[in-house]
């Protein structure tokens, strides 16, 4: 996701974590405000193009070598690059660093920031797809602007959904996060979030847990992102009919990511000591 999506995911998570998780992470991240998660949600993107952070650039996605829309699917051994890693292996690695109380606090703070970011990214369907580098190579327009499909899913759809963010991502993300939090607690996501969104979540098996999230997002590539394949979407205007079908999917993926991030952080923090 773009910055707005990541910040929204983090605000949703802040609404669901336990009080002890909140105070533990506020201390670790040295921020005692309500923005302690939101304020670090985009940090991983800010370092990926720097010299020291280059090794993390492949951690934001997993390139599923499937064939949408005919066949979707993620296979860890096939799709997670052995040298560069992927978002699934990165989530396992940084989860274990956050759990390791022998590591220096700065390392664990850094691990927390990666976990917060990557649980967001794994829920962006095009972060679980190889085709055209996750859609970066597919040229489209959105409300007349020339963009690539990856950018449309990262940024354009979410920003249109809330009516634009007018260069102020934090207050707009907070408002959207609070609305989605209500939908999760007692609105359109209440039943499914309680019965299904945490199914398969297992802190002793981060690979299987993250792979489950990846498979779910990747299936949306076949149904909603590329319902008629990559060639059919090239050059198309996506701000109207396509947007109407995609927006509810973006909204649910952002809501799920925030809810699951909260559960994952609770599982980590409650198992310490």
Annotated catalytic residues are 1, 6, 45, 48, 60, 117, 121, 127, 150, 154
Choose the one of Zn ion, ligand DCM, none that binds residue 256, judging by a C-beta under 5 to 8 angstroms depending on kind: none
Q: Which is nearer to ligand DCM, 151 or 185 (CB)?
A: 151
Is residue 83 classed as helix, strand or coil in its secondary structure?
coil
Q: How far is CA 246 from CA 4, 118, 168, 226, in A?
A: 17, 21, 23, 11
By the 8 A CB rule, do 183 and 17 touch?
A: no
Instruction: Work out which of 109, 207, 208, 215 binds ligand DCM, going by CB under 6 A.
Output: 109
Binding site for Zn ion (CB under 5 A): 45, 60, 121
Q: Residue 257: in which H helix or E strand, if any?
A: helix 241-270
Token couple for 78: 């096939």
- 127 is an interface residue for ligand DCM by CB under 6 A: yes
Is residue 146 classed as helix, strand or coil in its secondary structure?
strand
Q: Which residues contact 169 (CB under 8 A, 6 or more apart)?
A: 3, 4, 7
Which positions from 19 through 78 interact with ligand DCM, judged by CB under 6 A?
43, 52, 60-61, 63
Choose the one of Zn ion, ligand DCM, none that binds residue 260, judging by a C-beta under 5 to 8 angstroms depending on kind: none
Q: How far is CA 198 from CA 49, 53, 184, 213, 244, in A?
A: 33, 31, 13, 10, 27
**Closest C-alpha to 137, from 145, 127, 147:** 147
**What would the x/- binding string for ligand DCM be over residues 130 to 169, using CB under 6 A?**
---xx-x-------------x-------------------
The C-alpha atoms of residue 273 and residue 268 are separated, in whole angstroms, by 11
In the DSSP assignment, the letter for residue 130 is -
Choose the one of ligand DCM, Zn ion, none that binds residue 134, judging by a C-beta under 5 to 8 angstroms depending on kind: ligand DCM
By the 8 A CB rule, do 66 and 60 touch?
A: no
Choose the one of Zn ion, ligand DCM, none that binds residue 188, judging by a C-beta under 5 to 8 angstroms depending on kind: none
In the complex, least distance from residue 93 CB atom to ligand DCM, rounded to whole angstroms: 15
- 106 is an interface residue for ligand DCM by CB under 6 A: yes
In the complex, least distance from residue 270 CB atom to Zn ion, rounded to whole angstroms: 27
Choose the one of Zn ion, ligand DCM, none that binds residue 2, judging by a C-beta under 5 to 8 angstroms depending on kind: none
Contacting residues toward ligand DCM, per CB under 6 A: 43, 52, 60-61, 63, 106, 109-110, 126-127, 133-134, 136, 150
């Amino acid at each position: 996701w773009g910055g707005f999506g990541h910040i929204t995911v983090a605000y949703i998570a802040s609404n669901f974590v336990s009080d002890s998780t909140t105070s533990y992470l506020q201390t670790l991240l040295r921020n005692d405000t309500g923005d302690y998660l939101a304020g670090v949600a985009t940090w991983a993107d800010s370092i990926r193009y720097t010299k020291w952070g280059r090794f993390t650039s492949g951690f934001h996605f997993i390139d599923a070598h499937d064939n949408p829309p005919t066949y979707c699917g993620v296979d860890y051994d096939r799709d997670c690059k052995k040298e560069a890693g992927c978002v699934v292996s990165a989530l396992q690695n940084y989860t274990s660093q956050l759990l390791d109380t022998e590591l220096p606090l700065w390392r664990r703070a850094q691990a927390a920031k990666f976990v917060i970011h990557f649980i967001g990214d794994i829920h962006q369907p095009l972060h679980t797809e190889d085709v055209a580098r996750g859609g970066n190579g597919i040229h489209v327009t959105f409300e007349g602007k020339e963009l690539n499909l990856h950018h449309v899913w990262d940024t354009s759809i979410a920003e249109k959904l809330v009516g634009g963010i007018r260069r102020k991502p934090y207050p707009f993300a907070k408002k959207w996060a609070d609305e989605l939090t209500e939908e999760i607690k007692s609105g359109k996501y209440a039943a499914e979030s309680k019965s299904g969104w945490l199914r398969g979540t297992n802190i002793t098996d981060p690979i299987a847990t993250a792979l489950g999230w990846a498979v779910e997002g990747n299936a949306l590539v076949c149904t909603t992102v590329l319902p008629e394949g990559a060639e059919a979407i090239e050059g198309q205007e996506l701000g109207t009919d396509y947007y109407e079908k995609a927006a509810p999917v973006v909204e649910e993926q952002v809501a799920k990511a925030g809810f699951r991030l909260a559960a994952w952080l609770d599982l980590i923090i409650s198992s310490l000591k």
